[in-house]
Amino acid sequence: MPEVQTTVGVIGLGSMGLGMAQTLATKGFRTLGFDLSADRRKLAEDAGVLPQSTIADLVAASAFLVFSLPTAQDVRSVVEGHLDLLKGKTGQRVIIIDTSTSEPDVSRDLAKRLEALGHGFLDAPVSGGPAGAASGKLTMMIGGSEEDLALARPVIEAMAAKALHVGPSGAGNVAKLVNNLLAAAHMITTSEGLKLALAAGIDPEAALRVVNAASGKSMISEVHFPTWVMSDRFDSGFSMGLMRKDVRLAKKLADSTGAQLPLAEQVASLWAGSTELADSDDFTRMGAFKAKN
Ligand code: NAD
């Protein structure tokens, strides 16, 4: 419980943001919340969060802002739409902790512009899914200054079991795109491995048990396949559309840096080309899609 009750405003109360807001409220922060959806605001209110009718109300009252928004464009438009309000908040350094999976260039640009107004911006994307958000056990990868991280640490530690400072602004986004490129690849490689087992007359469940006791395992094979793919549940809470975005951003980063990644090219084309699956489908369906086709 913080000594003086700190006010944290959470913008975006979706699969991740709602859990994070609930965690902050449970841990004693005065937690305000805003989402475009009235249904999400109501769910947040039921979870002990104080819903706000506008982002401006939330920004005006908060010392820390936690973003959990779909894309870098959403993050940019929320910040740009409230720069005047933030400019007026003198005498208090507001820190934005952006947990969205966003773009390094956008984070760097926003951090620079907010710094000029005396405020801080940390790119702080997360891993751990809705369950990690709701239990305060996320892994967070952070880009930004040591000073802003020190200020934000109590809020970050309430949400994350592991908080890794990767480097300056944008570094957290780069690390997250690397991570999700690997997770996207593992979803395909694990599924292809099980498809091979099946084609060769081995029970895929038995093959998966072997992989998870041997060197082929990943978190995708250890957690996602048993929990969401083999069980046919497909309700991990992370959408195809958001994973497609991450793979697209990883490819964009490879193109802009000149990194030659032949397997990543193939992964990107498989995620973009799996048109049987809608953006609204759970991303774990990609494992089953590949096993059956
Ligand atoms: P989501 O689609 O469930 O939630 C996003 C929420 O943001 C929605 O409720 C939407 O109404 C709201 N929103 C959109 N624009 C807004 C705006 N301008 N103002 C206020 N609210 C707005 O998405 P999610 O799964 O919670 O993911 C959020 C972010 O976290 C994404 O960047 C995603 O890539 C990342 N992420 C998701 C997971 C996961 O497992 N779901 C894991 C790690 C990271």
Quick one: 126 and 239 in the same domain?
Answer: no
pLDDT value of residue 292: 57
Which residues on neighbouring strands pair with residue 160, listed in sequence order?
138
pLDDT value of residue 5: 82
Residues of the chain below pLDDT 50: 1-3
pLDDT value of residue 133: 98
| Host H or E run for residue 31 | strand 30-34
Decide: residue 10, CB within 10 A, 0-12 exposed, 13-18 middle, 19+ buried. buried
Q: What confidence tens digit (pLDDT) does each residue in 161-174 have?
A: 999 999 999 999 99
Quick one: 153 and 208 in the same domain?
Answer: no
Domain final position from 142, 168, 194: 168
CATH code, domain with 196: 1.10.1040.10
**74 CA to centre of ligand 1 in angstroms:** 10
Ligand 1 atom nearest the C-alpha of 34 is: 20
Which among 89, 112, 162, 176 is annotated as catalytic? 176
- The answer, yes or no, to whether any atom of ligand 1 lies below 6 A from the CB of 284, is no
CATH code, domain with 108: 3.40.50.720
| Gap between the Cα atoms of 252 and 204, Å rounded | 34
pLDDT above 90 covers what percent of the chain? Answer: 96
- The answer, yes or no, to whether any atom of ligand 1 lies below 6 A from the CB of 15, is yes
Quick one: 77 and 200 in the same domain?
Answer: no
pTM over 0.85: yes
pLDDT value of residue 189: 97
Quick one: 53 and 97 in the same domain?
Answer: yes
pLDDT value of residue 246: 97
Quick one: 284 and 216 in the same domain?
Answer: yes
Quick one: 163 and 180 in the same domain?
Answer: no
Query: Does the residue 249 lie in any domain?
Result: yes
- The answer, yes or no, to whether any atom of ligand 1 lies below 6 A from the CB of 49, is no
pLDDT value of residue 289: 73
- Structural tokens at position 198: 């099946």
Quick one: 93 and 110 in the same domain?
Answer: yes
- The answer, yes or no, to whether any atom of ligand 1 lies below 6 A from the CB of 16, is yes
**195 CA to centre of ligand 1 in angstroms:** 32
Quick one: 25 and 164 in the same domain?
Answer: yes
Query: Does the residue 2 lie in any domain?
Result: no
Quick one: 88 and 22 in the same domain?
Answer: yes
Residue nearest to atom 14 of ligand 1 (CA): 69
> In sequence order, what DSSP letters do the residues of the chain get, joined into one string?
--SS--EEEEE--STTHHHHHHHHHHTT-EEEEE-S-HHHHHHHHHTT-EE-SSHHHHHHH-SEEEE--SSHHHHHHHHHTTHHHHHH-TTS--EEEE-S---HHHHHHHHHHHHHTT-EEEE--EESHHHHHHHT-EEEEEES-HHHHHHHHHHHHHHEEEEEEEESTTHHHHHHHHHHHHHHHHHHHHHHHHHHHHHTT--HHHHHHHHHTSTT--HIIIIIIIIIITTS---SS-BHHHHHHHHHHHHHHHHHHT---HHHHHHHHHHHH-TTS-TTSBTTHHHHHHHH-
Query: Does the residue 238 lie in any domain?
Result: yes
Residue to mutate, 20, 58, 69, ligand 1, most ligand atoms under 8 Å from C-beta: 69
Quick one: 37 and 102 in the same domain?
Answer: yes
* Chain position carrying tokens 């690849």: 185
Quick one: 179 and 57 in the same domain?
Answer: no
- The answer, yes or no, to whether any atom of ligand 1 lies below 6 A from the CB of 67, is no
Ligand 1 atom nearest the C-alpha of 71 is: 32
Quick one: 11 and 144 in the same domain?
Answer: yes
In the residue annotation, 87 being an active-site residue is answered as no
Q: What domain range is 225 assigned to?
A: 174-291
**12 CA to centre of ligand 1 in angstroms:** 6
- The answer, yes or no, to whether any atom of ligand 1 lies below 6 A from the CB of 74, is yes
**134 CA to centre of ligand 1 in angstroms:** 14
| Gap between the Cα atoms of 24 and 35, Å rounded | 16
Query: Does the residue 14 lie in any domain?
Result: yes
Name the domain count of the chain.
2
pLDDT value of residue 293: 54
